[in-house]
Chains A and B, each alone.
Chain A
C-alpha cells in the first residue's frame, strides 16, 4: 500500500494505531484518511487515487490490464492466503508469535479472546476455500509455484510491465517484503522467496528507490 502511494508520488504520513481495524470503514487495514474522506483496501484506494487524477496503469492496453488483474488475483489468492495460513493455522507460529502480537494492544483477557476469535474466523475461511486440509508443506509448495510464476513473468525487466511500476508491482512488493522481513518461527516461507533472485532484486530496487531515497524508514506497517 505504501509502495503504491509512493509510486504515485503522493505525500503520505504514516500512523500506527491499535484500533486501526475498527477505524477503517471496511474493517480492514490499511486505509487512508484524506481530508474528510476515509478509504480502505487496495482496490478502492486505487480507484480513489485514480479519480483524483493519479493512476499507474494508464499506459497499459486492454490485454495488459487483464494480465495485471489476473496476476493481482494470483498474488491475493496464493500469497495472502498463505500468509494468513501461516499466521493463524500453523500451531507453532500461532502460539509463539501471532497470539501475542494480535492481542498486545489489549488488556487481559481481551487479548486472548480476540486472538482466538480471529483464529476461528480465519480457519473457517480456509475450510470454505478448500485450504482447511492443506499441510504446511503443501502451502509452501503453492507459494513456491506462485513465486515461480511471478519470477517468470518479471524475467529481467525492472517492473512487471517493463519501465513503469503499476499496482501489481506495489502489491507484489508489499507481500514479498512482508514475507522477507517478518520474524516467524520458521523461515521456510522467506527461503522460498529467496530462491528467486530476480524477485529479491525487485524488492531491493523498490525499497531503495521509493523508500530510502525519501528519507523514510524501511519498517512496514502491519495490521495488528
Chain B
C-alpha cells in the first residue's frame, strides 16, 4: 500500500522491541503479515496522547487499540490469517478471549499493581519516557486503572480482600499458561508453520512477562517452566525482531 503506516508505541528493553503488551501484539502482527510499519518509539518529546498507545497513523486515519489496528491492517490486505480455516479463525477469537480474561489481570498486576515491581521497575521505566510533570501523574493513573479493572472484573464476592483476588487471578493465569502450553504442544506456531493473529497475541502477552526483570516473579517462574512457550517467544524474537533491534 502506498500510504505510509506509522506506529507509535512504547519502546523496548530487556531484549524486547517493546515492553508494552498491546504495542508488542501490533508489532508482531505487522511482522507476520508483512505490513511495512514505521515504528515511532515514544520518548519524552512525543506529543500525542499516551493513554491510547499503540496508535497507528496513516495519511487519513488514526486508529488505536490493538483489535482495531489489526482489523485495519487486514482491510489493507495485510492478513496473517488467510491460511486459517473457519474453525481456526473461531478458535483464535476464543483463545484471545481466554487470554484477556485469565492472563491479562495477572499481567496487569505484575507490572502495575504489585508494589515492588511497580516502584522499582515499571514506574521508573515509563516515567523516563514521559515529560515532566506528566511523568509524575500518568504512571500512577495507569496503575490505578489497572487495579480498578482487576477489582471490578474479578473482585466480586466471595472474594472481598485484595489478597484473595490476587491469589485467584494468579491461579487463573497459571492455568491459562498451562492451557496455552498444552495447545501449542510441539508445534512451532499455534496453527501450523506460519504465525497468525493468535501467535501475535500470545507473544505480545507472554514476552514481557518472560523477559522483563522483576523483583516479584511468581508468574514468570511458572512461565519459565513451560519450555515450549519460552521457546515460542525466543523463536519469534530471533526470527522476526533480531534485525530491527539493531535499528532501535
Task: Report the count of interface residues on A (CB-CB < 8 A).
Answer: 30
**A150 CB, nearest partner CB in chain B, Å:** 7
Is B98 in contact with chain A by the CB < 8 A criterion?
Answer: yes
Instruction: Report the separation of the CA atoms of residues A172 and B97 in the bound assembly, to the nearest whole angstrom.
Output: 15
| Complex contact A63–B182 (CB within 8 A) | yes
Q: Is the CB of A63 within 8 A of B183?
A: yes
Q: Does B48 contact A (CB under 8 A)?
A: no
A27 in the interface, Cβ–Cβ < 8 Å?
A: yes
Select from chain A the residue with minimum beta-carbon distance to B95: A70
Once bound together, how far apart are the Cα atoms of A28 and B98, in whole Å? Answer: 22
- The CA of A130 and the CA of B95, in the complex, are separated in Å by 19
A128 engages B153 (CB within 8 Å): yes
A145's closest neighbor in chain B, by CB? B93
Complex interface: stretch among A12-20, A72-80, A181-189, A209-217: A72-80
**Given A26-B158, A73-B101, A128-B152, do A153 and B182 touch, yes or no (CB 8 Å)?**
no
Number of B positions contacting A (CB below 8 A): 27
| A149 part of interface (Cβ distance < 8 Å) | yes
Q: Which A residues are CB-close (under 8 A) to B91? A: 67, 70, 153
Instruction: Decide: A149 near B185, CB < 8 A? Known: A70-B97, A125-B152, A129-B153.
Output: no
Partner of B94, one of A26, A74, A125: A74
On B, residues with C-beta under 8 Å from A are: 65, 86-87, 89-91, 93-95, 97-98, 100-102, 145, 148-149, 152-153, 156-158, 179-180, 182-183, 185
Q: Report A's interface with B, CB cutoff 8 A.
A: 25-28, 62-63, 65-67, 69-71, 73-74, 76-78, 124-125, 128-130, 145-146, 148-150, 152-153, 155
